[in-house]
Every structure is written in structure tokens, then in C-alpha cells.
């Protein structure tokens, strides 16, 4: 039971009915559909879809392989650039990346090639007799990777492939990071995150250690002493605060905490459900929270954002998903006050209407809007967990770790990537790319030092 919502009723529908609400958002293509869709690709020589892919996948090549019924060839093309290509096919916002860049994406064609679904088809149907990537000769180096999320896993796999030994330190009891704990349940089904990690580990040379959190029972200074290099893929572990009185009242919690409980729940009927839910935020996490609460049986779900829909970081596709699930989106309203009932529990959320002033600055109008709620969920972004690096002085830009072009931090031998660094776009596919590129930088630095010695 989620403590801050323990006073709320649990879901009313049966487990079977609820499970039916969390099946694949986009059903996978069958063989015939994949054949037809892959035939639509023009295999452009200077394919704009590749330029739009954060992980540099050779998209025309893998689609041509599908068209030629070479599924393993297609999968290997994807995985050599993005070892987590299966999860990225499910969660990557292809509608604003590769598919938006597709030359078929114009009025006469109606829609681009379904690159994301084709990528999923390849990675779901690959049948390798052994891991498709082999380890290089042993370097004698051992690298510590902190965080078993997309960035850490990608870094570890590439380092292992280059002949290094890797030890991954993970705070949770399972690997996967946001793929395991932070993605809407209908986007990542059938325990896929764990299956993908199991496949990744087949490269060998990677050890996973659980229940170890930086700044708590794991010290960066000790890692620096014990390992040849350290990679930080720690994400942003703390939820931003509204800064309002009553923020700790029963009925108000961070959306990511609820999503984590939802994803790990074996029985969805045990989850507390806010019959009148308010979600504060404008990103994909806000959409995920709102849609899932609606699917669990909430009577009314309202998503509130302080600016207009055109400024929301959630894509139009995600916004359409929310609308299709009867989520009401209220814009130009910022949180003002948490309203409590006589027992101190959340009863409503008060907002102030907003506008842009003459200088373009967001400002309140003084007009108030009260939205009744027995559950309020913050999805206003994540920030750095200050306790994680309390034993070192690491250069930062705001709440992100500062890195150079080689993903090196201000500390010698310490590298970082993913959501915790600047610049970061909070995309799984970008985190994977960071991990891969950081691994290559780490390996090159270590080998250069060996040659210099």
C-alpha cells in the first residue's frame, strides 16, 4: 500500500479487467504487416531519419533487412548502435524524431514509415544462437558503473565488448532504471525490461550488485580508489517540490513514486485509486500518470499545466493518448495552495490563472481556480539527489553534472551520462547513446594511459 494514499479506496474492477487496461499501447506488427511496412521505405542514401535518431541507428539498412526477411541482420544493425533497441522501440518518441523526419511524412502519403514498430518487430523476433557481439581481448581494466538504468547498462555493455570488466552498482533490487520503474505499464509489458537486461548481460564480463546507493552505502571516493574508472548513470533521483504548505499531506505524492508502485504490483486491485485525481505537469510522466489513473478507474482526472499546450514537453501524440482516456487538460494555471479537509487530507488543489505579460514572462492574474481532488500527483520534473555526491565536489550546471565532449566530469577518472548530465533531454534513447559514447571515451583514455606508461 502506498502510505500517502492509504486512506483511499482500492481499484474496484477485477484483476483481469484491470490487466486488460495495461496491455500494449501499440500492438506489435505481424510478419505480413512488417513486410508491407518495410516495403514503404525508400532506403534514402542520406536518410534524414538517421540524422534524427539520437543513437545513430542505420534505419534504412535495418528496414531493408526486414524486407529481405533477414530479421537477425535487422536486429544486429539496431543493436550495434543501440543495445536497448527493444525498449527504445516501445518508449522512444519516434513521432518527433525519426518518423517526423521520414520523407514519406507529407500530405500525399498521410503518414511516415512506422520505424518504431519495425524496430520492435526486428528486436522481438531475432533468434541468435548466441550473443551477437563478442568481447575483445581482455584489457585488464575494471570499471565501476553506478546505476543500472539505460545509460549505465549501455555503458557497461560497450565497455565489456571492448574487453573490460565492469561492476554495476544499483540502488534498487532490479536493473533497468526508468524502463523498469518509471515507464507507463502499457508501454513496457510482459516483463520486457528484465528480458532485455538478461540479453544484454550475455556479453559477459559484467557483474551486478544491488542495494547500493551513492551517498548512502556507496562512496564515490572509494570507487575512484578501487576501480580504473567510474561512470555515473545515476539519473535525477529526487522529485521537484511545489514549495506549498500542505505538500506532505495525505493524498499528495510524486507521480514517479506511484508509477513505480504500479509497475511492480502483481495485483492491480491492491492499488489505491483517487476518484478525483489532479496531475500537475506537462511532460510524458504527467501523461503516463493521468492515463494510468484513469485506466485504474478514477471518475475524473485533470492534468494542469501553467502554460499552453504548445509549450508542453509531452508530444501531441502523448496528449492525444490522454484525451482518448478522458483526461481533462487545463492550461494557463499554476499551483497556488493545497486545500485540506478537516482531517488534514487533500480535498482540492487551488490554482491561479496565468498569462504572459508584455515582456513574455509568465505571471499570475489573481483569478483562482479550485479543482476538487482526493489525490494530487506532482509530475513537475526530477532534480539532483544532493545526498548522492555528498563526499565529493563535482562540477555541476544547476542540477546537472557538467561534462566535456568525452563525458568526463571535473573529477579525474569519473565520467557521467544520461539524465544526470547537462545537456540532457530526459530521453531513454539519448541516455543509451550517452552510455555508449562514454564507454568509448573511457576505453580510449585507459588505453592511451597504458600506451603512455
CA distance linking residue 436 with residue 176, whole number of Å: 16
β-pairing, 346-356 vs 362-372, is antiparallel
Clarify whether residues 390 and 294 are in a common domain. no
Q: What is the CATH number of the domain that holds 107?
A: 1.10.1060.10
Looking at the domain assignment, is residue 133 inside a domain?
Answer: no
Residue found under cell 533490487: 173
Cell output for 225: 580508489
- DSSP-based helix, strand, coil % in the chain, nearest 5: 35, 20, 45
What dihedral do alpha carbons 260, 264, 269, 272 form, nearest 10°? -20
Looking at the domain assignment, is residue 31 inside a domain?
Answer: no
Clarify whether residues 392 and 347 are in a common domain. no
Q: What is the pLDDT of residues 329-354, one digit of tens each?
A: 999 999 999 999 999 999 999 999 99
Last residue of a domain, one of 125, 150, 175: 125
Clarify whether residues 262 and 343 are in a common domain. yes
The predicted structure's pLDDT at residue 220: 94
Looking at the domain assignment, is residue 322 inside a domain?
Answer: yes
Clarify whether residues 186 and 265 are in a common domain. no
Last residue of a domain, one of 382, 400, 419: 382
Clarify whether residues 288 and 407 are in a common domain. no
Total number of domains constituting the chain: 3
Question: Can you say how many angstroms the Cα of residue 346 is from the centroid of all Cα atoms in its chain?
Answer: 29
Clarify whether residues 440 and 320 are in a common domain. no
Q: What is the CATH number of the domain that holds 249?
A: 3.50.50.60
Looking at the domain assignment, is residue 32 inside a domain?
Answer: no
Among the listed residues 131, 162, 164, the one whose alpha carbon sits nearest the alpha carbon of residue 145: 164
Last residue of a domain, one of 352, 382, 412: 382
Domain enclosing residue 159, as ranges: 142-237+384-452
Q: 252-265 burial string, b = 16+ CB within 10 Å, else e? A: bbbbbbbbbbbbee
Question: Can you say how many angstroms the Cα of residue 5 is from the centroid of all Cα atoms in its chain?
Answer: 25
Q: What is the pLDDT of residues 260-269, one digit of tens each?
A: 999 999 999 9
Looking at the domain assignment, is residue 289 inside a domain?
Answer: yes
- Among 144-158, 216-230, 313-327, 387-401, which is the least confidently predicted range? 387-401
Average pLDDT, the chain: 94
Looking at the domain assignment, is residue 26 inside a domain?
Answer: no
Among the listed residues 348, 295, 353, the one whose alpha carbon sits nearest the alpha carbon of residue 324: 295
Clarify whether residues 372 and 279 are in a common domain. yes
The predicted structure's pLDDT at residue 451: 67
Q: What is the pLDDT of residues 174-197, one digit of tens each?
A: 999 999 999 999 999 999 999 999
DSSP string covering 142-177, please? EEEEE--SHHHHHHHHHHHHTT-EEEEEESSSSS-T
Length of the chain: 453
Clarify whether residues 257 and 323 are in a common domain. yes
Number of Cβ within 10 Å of residue 177's Cβ equals 28
User: For helices 192-201 and 150-161, what crossing angle results, to 10°?
Assistant: 20
CA distance linking residue 382 with residue 368, whole number of Å: 27
Region of residue 308 (left: phi > 0; alpha: psi -120 to 50; beta: else): beta
Clarify whether residues 375 and 403 are in a common domain. no
The predicted structure's pLDDT at residue 452: 64
Looking at the domain assignment, is residue 389 inside a domain?
Answer: yes
∠ at Cα 376 (372, 379), nearest 5°?
Answer: 135
Residue found under cell 519495425: 118
Residue found under cell 603512455: 452
The predicted structure's pLDDT at residue 123: 98
Clarify whether residues 229 and 253 are in a common domain. no
pTM for this prediction: 0.95
Q: What is the pLDDT of residues 77-88, one digit of tens each?
A: 999 999 999 999
Q: What average pLDDT does this structure show over 211-222?
A: 94
Would you call 402 helix, strand, or coil by DSSP?
Answer: strand
Clarify whether residues 330 and 363 are in a common domain. yes
CA distance linking residue 73 with residue 61, whole number of Å: 9
For the chain, the distance separating the N- and C-terminal CA atoms, rounded to the nearest angstrom, is 57
Looking at the domain assignment, is residue 30 inside a domain?
Answer: no
The predicted structure's pLDDT at residue 384: 85
Clarify whether residues 204 and 267 are in a common domain. no
Amino acid at each position: 500500500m502506498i502510505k500517502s494514499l492509504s486512506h483511499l479506496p482500492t481499484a474496484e474492477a477485477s484483476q483481469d479487467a484491470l490487466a486488460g487496461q495495461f496491455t500494449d499501447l501499440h500492438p506489435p506488427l505481424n510478419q505480413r504487416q512488417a513486410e508491407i511496412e518495410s516495403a514503404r521505405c525508400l532506403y534514402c542514401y542520406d536518410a534524414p531519419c538517421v540524422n534524427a535518431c539520437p543513437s545513430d541507428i542505420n534505419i534504412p539498412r535495418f528496414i531493408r533487412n526486414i524486407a529481405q526477411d533477414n530479421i537477425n541482420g535487422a536486429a544486429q544493425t539496431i543493436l550495434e548502435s543501440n543495445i536497448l533497441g527493444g525498449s527504445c522501440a516501445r518508449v522512444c518518441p519516434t513521432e518527433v524524431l525519426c518518423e517526423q523526419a521520414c520523407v514519406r511524412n507529407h500530405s500525399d502519403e498521410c503518414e511516415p514509415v512506422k520505424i518504431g514498430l519495425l524496430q520492435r518487430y526486428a528486436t522481438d523476433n531475432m533468434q541468435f544462437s548466441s550473443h551477437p557481439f563478442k568481447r575483445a581481448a581482455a584489457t585488464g581494466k575494471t570499471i565501476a558503473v553506478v546505476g543500472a538504468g539505460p545509460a549505465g547498462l549501455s555503458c557497461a555493455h560497450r565497455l565489456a565488448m571492448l574487453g573490460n570488466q565492469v561492476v554495476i552498482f544499483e540502488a534498487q533490487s532490479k536493473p533497468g532504471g526508468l524502463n523498469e520503474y518509471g515507464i507507463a505499464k502499457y508501454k513496457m509489458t510482459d516483463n520486457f525490461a528484465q528480458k532485455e537486461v538478461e540479453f544484454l548481460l550475455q556479453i559477459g564480463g559484467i557483474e551486478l550488485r544491488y542495494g547500493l546507493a551513492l551517498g548512502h552505502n556507496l562512496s564515490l571516493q572509494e570507487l575512484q580508489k578501487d576501480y580504473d574508472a567510474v561512470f555515473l548513470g545515476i539519473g535525477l533521483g529526487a522529485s521537484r517540490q511545489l514549495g506549498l504548505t500542505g505538500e506532505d499531506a495525505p493524498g499528495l505524492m510524486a507521480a514517479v513514486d506511484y508509477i513505480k508502485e504500479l509497475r511492480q504490483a502483481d495485483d492491480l486491485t491492491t492499488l489505491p485509486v483517487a476518484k478525483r485525481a489532479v496531475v500537475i505537469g506537462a511532460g510524458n510522466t504527467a501523461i503516463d500518470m493521468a492515463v494510468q489513473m484513469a485506466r485504474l478507474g478514477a471518475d475524473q482526472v485533470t492534468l494542469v499545466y501553467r502554460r499552453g499546450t504548445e509549450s508542453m514537453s509531452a508530444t501531441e501524440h502523448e496528449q492525444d493518448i490522454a484525451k482518448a482516456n478522458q483526461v481533462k487538460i487545463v492550461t494557463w494555471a499554476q499551483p497556488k495552495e493545497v486545500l485540506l479537509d478537516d482531517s488534514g487530507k487533500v480535498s482540492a488543489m487551488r490554482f491561479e490563472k496565468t498569462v504572459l505579460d508584455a515582456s513574455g514572462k509568465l505571471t499570475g492574474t489573481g483569478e483562482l481556480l479550485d479543482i476538487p481532488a482526493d489525490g494530487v500527483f506532482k509530475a513537475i520534473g526530477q532534480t539532483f539527489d544532493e545526498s548522492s555526491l555528498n563526499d565529493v565536489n563535482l562540477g555541476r550546471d544547476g542540477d546537472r553534472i557538467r561534462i566535456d565532449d568525452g563525458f568526463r566530469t571535473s573529477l579525474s577518472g569519473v565520467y557521467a551520462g544520461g539524465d544526470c548530465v547537462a545537456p540532457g533531454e530526459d530521453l531513454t534513447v539519448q541516455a543509451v547513446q550517452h552510455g555508449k559514447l562514454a564507454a568509448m571515451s573511457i576505453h580510449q583514455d585507459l588505453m592511451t594511459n597504458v600506451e603512455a606508461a
